[in-house]
Amino acid sequence: MKALSTSVVLLVVSTIIMFTTECARPKIDSRPGAAALQVSTTAAATSSPIEKHLAELKKRLPSKEFSIVVEHPFVVVGDEPKSVVKERSEETVRWAVDRLKKDLFTKDPDEILDIWLFKDAVSYEKHTQLLWGEKPSTPYGYYSSNHKALIMNISTGGGTLVHELVHPFIESNFPACPPWLNEGLGSLYEKCGDEDGHIRGYINWRLPGLQRAIKAGELTSFKDLMAMDAQTFYSDKRGDNYAQSRYLCYYLQQKGLLFKFYKLFQANQQQDPTGYQSLRSVLQESNLKRFQKKWEQYVLGLSEGFEVRVE
């Protein structure tokens, strides 16, 4: 065989280099809202954290019924049809995350978190036991920092999902947040909507119990509520601590002070660990015992379906 001429050899080498370079370029999906993973085809490239996470997650899926949707900064997993899981991902998770970050949170959760949406109570209880070896303590859903997951019976509605979305954001943005505000904000958004691009909590099912406790004189003072540690706060079986915290946040929201209070408290938490002084400041109230009496009368005047703003 005759030796190839120098020009032919150069042409072949050049063609190989061009072909190899073109194939090594990562393919990028630039469509708005696309969640496609950017995967490099070079041999030296390593998987990204989200790719590694998805690979491990797929190994854990209980059955072929489950599908996965990436909804940054979460991964949504559900055993409904893929189209339904995608719709819930966009219309509940993305909707809430966008608004929570707009007004309250600047930092995403520190780790990739999974949102498990089980289609009904049977699936919820079965898979909670199968995947994590535990029985859920609530029929609706919960956030587990240990499991790095939000675990939902989505047949009960999206309100609990929005509530639980608040907790990992509090965890990463305000780790010293006391339970009253953590649960006050979470429960505020159990029933919520959009107003001018901002998330807004509405009156919900916690109101009648709170009104009963007010009439019975059973509520604790705001000072004591705000000073509760987690064990004390969550030991309340009737849910009065949740309701009192929620409707204090609701009052601040209706007065246009909620986001201002949150940011002031977050900035001053070392000097004001419960938020009590920050609350006095934003309300311009020197005596919170007197304010609580006014707040109780306000709450007694509320009824579900009628949103009362405070001037």
Amino acid at 198: H
CB distance 188 to 199 below 8 Å: no
Report the residue count for the chain: 311
CB distance 23 to 42 below 8 Å: no
- Whole-angstrom distance, CA of residue 228 vs CA of residue 267: 20
pLDDT of 42 reads 38
pLDDT of 16 reads 37
141-144 and 149-153 strand pairing: antiparallel
Domain range list for the chain = 48-173, 176-311
CB distance 108 to 71 below 8 Å: no
Neighbours of 259 (CB within 10 A): 14
From first CA to last CA, the distance across the chain in angstroms is 95
Sorted by sequence, the CB contacts under 8 Å of residue 93 that are 6+ apart come out as: 71, 74, 76, 115, 161, 165
- Whole-angstrom distance, CA of residue 76 vs CA of residue 62: 15
Return per-residue pLDDT of the chain as tens, 311 residues.
444 444 433 333 344 333 333 333 333 333 333 333 333 333 334 579 999 999 999 999 999 999 999 999 999 999 999 999 999 999 999 999 999 999 999 999 999 999 999 999 999 999 999 999 999 999 999 999 999 999 999 999 999 999 999 999 999 999 999 999 999 999 999 999 999 999 999 999 999 999 999 999 999 999 999 999 999 999 999 999 999 999 999 999 999 999 999 999 999 999 999 999 999 999 999 999 999 999 999 999 999 775 656 55
pLDDT of 51 reads 94
Beta bridge partners of 78: 67, 117
pLDDT of 47 reads 79
Q: H or E element: which one contains 200?
A: strand 198-201
pLDDT of 35 reads 39
- Whole-angstrom distance, CA of residue 186 vs CA of residue 166: 5
Helix (H, G, I), strand (E, B) or coil at 65: coil
Looking at 3.40.640.10, 3.40.30.160, 3.20.20.70, 3.40.50.300, the CATH number of the domain 48-173 comes to 3.40.30.160
Beta bridge partners of 70: 75
pLDDT of 307 reads 61
In SS3 terms, 96-150 reads as HHHHHHHHCCCCCCCCCEEEEEECCHHHHHHHHHHHHCCCCCCCCEEEECCCCEE
pLDDT of 5 reads 45
Q: What is the pTM of this model?
A: 0.82
pLDDT of 248 reads 98
pLDDT of 203 reads 97
Q: H or E element: which one contains 82?
A: helix 82-88
Position of tokens 């604790």?
A: 220
Torsion region of 83: left, alpha or beta (phi above 0 gives left; psi -120 to 50 gives alpha): alpha
Helix (H, G, I), strand (E, B) or coil at 201: strand
φ and ψ at residue 93, rounded to 5 degrees: -65, -55
| Residue environment code for 73-111, b if the CB has 16+ CB neighbours within 10 A, otherwise e | bbbbbbbbeeeebbebbeebbbbbbebbeeebbeebbee
